Amino acid sequence: MADTAAVRSRPLDEVMLAMDVVDTLRHRQTVVAQELEGPERDEALLARLRQIYAAQGIEVSDRILHDGVAALREDRFAYRPPPDDWRIRLARIYVERGRWGKRLLGVVIALAIGVGAYQFAIVAPRDAISAEIERTHAAIGAVAVDEGARLGADTLHARGRAAIAAGDTRTAQATLAELGELQASLERSYSLLVVIGPDVVSGVWRVPDMNVEARNHYLIVEAVDERGGPVALPVRSEETGRIEQVTTFGLRVDEATWNRVAADLEDDGIIQERLVAVKRPGVLEPEYLVETTGGTITRW
Distance CA 16, CA 102 (A): 42
Task: Give residue 294's pLDDT.
Answer: 94
Query: Residue 178 has what pLDDT?
Result: 96
Domain residue ranges in the chain: 2-74, 97-187, 190-297
* Cα–Cα distance for residue pair 204/258, rounded to 1 Å: 9
Over range 103-114, report the average pLDDT.
73
**% residues pLDDT > 90 (the chain):** 52
Q: How many CA atoms lie within 13 A of 192 on its CB side?
A: 25
Evaluate if residue 26 carries a pLDDT over 80: no
Of 33-37, 174-178, 220-224, 287-291, which range is least confident? 33-37
What's the pLDDT band for 88 if we cut at 50, 70, 90? confident
What pLDDT was estimated at residue 4?
Answer: 44
DSSP lists the bridge partners of residue 203 as 219
> Could you tell me the maximum CA-CA distance found in the chain, to the nearest angstrom?
151
Task: Determine if the pTM surpasses 0.75.
Answer: no
Rounded mean pLDDT of 65-85?
67
pLDDT tier at 63, thresholds 50, 70, 90: confident
Q: What's the pLDDT band for 213 if we cut at 50, 70, 90? A: confident
pLDDT over threshold 60, residue 2: no
Residue 6 confidence class, pLDDT cut points 50, 70, 90: very low
DSSP for 241-258 reads --EEEESEEEEEE-HHHH
Which one is predicted more confidently, 220 or 7?
220
Quote the pLDDT of residue 295: 95
